[in-house]
Amino acid sequence: MSSPRLDDAPRMLLMSAARYGNGGYLDHVDAQFHALFGEKKWNVLLIPYGTVSFTYDYVESRARVAFERTGHTISSIHFAASPRAAIERADAIAISDGNTFALLKRLYNAKLMDVLRMRILSGIPLVAWGAGANIACPTIQTTNDMPVVQPPSFDALRLLPFQTNPHFITGKMPAHNEKSREDRLNEFLDLNPNEEVLAMPEGTALLVEGANATALGDSAMLWFRQQRRVVPIKPGVTFNLNSIAVGQRLMIVDKNKTPGSKGEADSMPEPTFAKRDRPSDQAP
């Protein structure tokens, strides 16, 4: 699959997680939904294929609370006679969380990858969280999930030109010797020198409008770069999606830009704030 072209106009809300802090399922999403959906009320088609522990009925009933609270209706694809036709007709699409490998495998098995990508690139709104947001990336290589099943490929929808990491949390638990999230992202970057990763703490979301994205939420996202650099992207900043790439600077779009309007892109000095350590036992 090729990268999004500038004349494509996807509108996507890609949320790190379904929960924020001690809040319940999709409790924190109202303002972010509004940023994507505006005043219009949408009939949203839910794709719940990421769930492993719950039934599709249950996933729909949980999601319905947030969609109805914000004025929208939602109906799960598992009720449709033809899932493909349901995607072809959908006004808007939601992809829920769960296990990213299971989600991708089910989409491949159902032969829905191409039609899904085509509809979203044609501009119908997509809201996705957790595993659902992972599959907007070029691949699922930066998920936190275990490969509990094997999809035919790690290739995902490539609606974004870069990888994201959801539920991002920094550091290690005391007296626990597993790798930190930084360690895992470093491993990915070391073995994939053409890639960089946008790490998204819980509560954050990317609002994608065509070639630009706005960082939403209360905390900064962290752009994990090659050469062990990390660049924070503050909430409210709108940037050109294609600038999250090896050797690029963050192209910040007009700061007065409100979601939905067009802005001029400006190249800004890179606000690097940290250099990550390379573990001493690792070859350069």
| φ and ψ at residue 76, rounded to 5 degrees | -85, 145
Toward ligand ASP, which CB reaches closer, 162 or 257?
162
Toward ligand ASP, which CB reaches closer, 167 or 228?
167
| φ and ψ at residue 46, rounded to 5 degrees | -95, 135
- The residues, any chain, with a CB within 8 Å of residue 85's CB and separated by 6 or more, are none
Toward ligand ASP, which CB reaches closer, 16 or 240?
16
Toward ligand ASP, which CB reaches closer, 78 or 167?
167
What is the closest distance, in whole angstroms, from the C-beta atom of residue 4 to ligand ASP in the complex?
A: 21
Query: Hey, what are 279's tokens?
Result: 């573990």
Distance CA 232, CA 226 (A): 14
**SS3 breakdown of the chain: % helix, strand, coil, rounded to 5?**
25, 25, 50
Toward ligand ASP, which CB reaches closer, 22 or 256?
22
Query: Hey, what are 156's tokens?
Result: 């995902």
* Residue whose C-beta lies closest to ligand ASP: 130
What is the closest distance, in whole angstroms, from the C-beta atom of residue 162 to ligand ASP in the complex?
A: 15
- The residues, any chain, with a CB within 8 Å of residue 215's CB and separated by 6 or more, are 204, 206, 221, 233, 234, 235, 236, 237, 238, 239
What is the closest distance, in whole angstroms, from the C-beta atom of residue 73 to ligand ASP in the complex?
A: 23
Residues of this chain that bind ligand ASP (CB under 6 A): 17, 50, 97-100, 130-131, 134, 143-145, 166-167
Query: Hey, what are 139's tokens?
Result: 């691949």
What is the closest distance, in whole angstroms, from the C-beta atom of residue 8 to ligand ASP in the complex?
A: 25
Toward ligand ASP, which CB reaches closer, 162 or 252?
162
What is the closest distance, in whole angstroms, from the C-beta atom of residue 154 to ligand ASP in the complex?
A: 13
What is the closest distance, in whole angstroms, from the C-beta atom of residue 157 to ligand ASP in the complex?
A: 15
- Indicate the pairing of strand 92-95 with strand 43-47: parallel
What is the closest distance, in whole angstroms, from the C-beta atom of residue 185 to ligand ASP in the complex?
A: 12
- The residues, any chain, with a CB within 8 Å of residue 227's CB and separated by 6 or more, are none
Distance CA 246, CA 163 (A): 12
Question: CA 126, 127, 131: angle at the middle one, nearest 5?
Answer: 110
Distance CA 244, CA 252 (A): 11
Toward ligand ASP, which CB reaches closer, 158 or 257?
158
